[in-house]
Amino acid sequence: MQLDRDVNYIVSGLERSGTSMLMQILVGGDIPTLFDDSRKADRDNPKGYYELKGGKIINSVIEGKFPFDEHKGKFIKITAYGLRYLPRGNYKIIYTERNIDEVLDSMEAMIGKKDGNREKTRQSFLGLNEIVKGFIQDRDDLSACFVNYNDILSRPRANIRRIIDFLGISDEKLEDMVSIVDNRLYRKRR
Amino acid sequence: MSKEKSIDQFENVPIPKAIVEKIKKRIEQTDFDSVSSYITYVLQEVLSEENDEEEAVFSKEDEARVKERLKALGYLD
């Protein structure tokens, strides 16, 4: 399976909104992806993070130092905050959303501490999600497939078919990709 | 528009002649001394409104809170 080598492919979404599961699904479909093992699998992401530089890739994106040209033709994960700093290019993005309270629950679990300003945090991340989605829709060098983590778990086949159609690739690996969706990982259900 | 600004601070952007003619008529009897200064003013207003809209959805305070959270999660230095 090959992707277009003139395109930068990105999996994105708010942190803790299913970006790792999307990367797993892509790997399950033999779709080219790029990640390292700088952040090991743990109780928060038992199947791994599928990130570059332990997720801190967004630092170099913000600083304008990330070599996008060297990462064409493969999916990488850049979480939502970093997307605002994408230089002009040619991008295809799969952007996932998730019930915001589940996102916040998962963040609290990962940090190991209850958020004393949860309602403010909620509004801030909702705001970030909104402006990033607007940014994606406004840019003419980006095309995006918006998915929803909760809906993928409910209807994996339909959602993964949308991703396959978005990428314009064969559906021969559809069932392999569907099998990746693992309801046992859905621990922060609301 | 300040005349002291050097020429390399400007770009030529093609605009349909019909619009330029309309602007010329519009700026008669106004303080705008050129089509260019009128277009610059209008675009600055539009862009400023967009920034205000973004600030309303995602303020600097929101951004600071998100960055703090992302640092705690290990996504930002």
ipTM: 0.84
Q: What pLDDT digit, counting tens, does each position of A19-29 carry? A: 999 999 999 99
pLDDT digit string (tens) for B14-36? 999 999 999 999 999 888 889 99
Task: Supply the DSSP string of B5-70, one letter for each residue.
Answer: S-GGG-------HHHHHHHHHHHTTSS--SHHHHHHHHHHHHHHHHHHHHHHHS-HHHHHHHHHHH
Q: Is residue B3's pLDDT more than 50? A: no
The answer to whether the Cα torsion of A19, A24, A27, A28 is positive or negative is negative
> Which site among A39, A78, A81, A106 would you substitute to test the B interface, given the most B Cβ atoms closer than 10 Å to its Cβ?
A81
Over residues A125-138, the pLDDT tens digits come to 999 999 999 999 98
pLDDT digits (tens, 9 = 90+) for B61-75: 999 999 999 999 888
User: Chains A, B: CB contacts under 8 A, how many?
Assistant: 57
The b-or-e profile of A1-27 (16+ CB within 10 A means b, else e) is eebeeebbbbbbbbbbbbbbbbbbbbb
Which candidate, A62, A105, A58, places its Cα nearest to that of A77?
Answer: A58
Asked if A111's CB is within 8 angstroms of B72's CB, the reply is: yes
Phi, psi of A30 (to 5 degrees): 55, 30
Query: Inter-chain contact B76–A58, Cβ cutoff 8 Å?
Result: yes
Task: Please give the share of chain A, as a percent, with pLDDT higher than 70.
Answer: 88
Q: Whole-angstrom Cα distance, residue A189 to residue B5?
A: 58
Q: Quick one: which of A89, A121, A119 has its CA closest to A16?
A: A121
Which of B54, B65, B70 lies nearest to residue A120, judging by beta carbons?
A: B65
Tokens of B62: 């929101």
Look up the pTM and report it: 0.78
Which pLDDT does position A46 carry in this prediction?
66
Burial A144-182 (b: 16+ CB within 10 A, else e): bbebbbbebbeebeebbebbbebbebeeebbeebbebbe
Q: With an 8 Å Cβ cutoff, are A131 and B58 in contact?
A: yes
A107 CB burial (10 A radius; 0-12, 13-18, 19+) = buried
A48-76 pLDDT, tens digit per residue, is: 667 777 667 888 999 999 999 999 999 99
pLDDT band at B2; cut points 50, 70, 90: very low
Say how far apart CA A63 and CA A16 lie, in whole Å: 23
Q: Which chain A positions have a beta carbon within 8 Å of B57's beta carbon? A: 127, 130-131
B33 Cα distance to chain centroid: 20
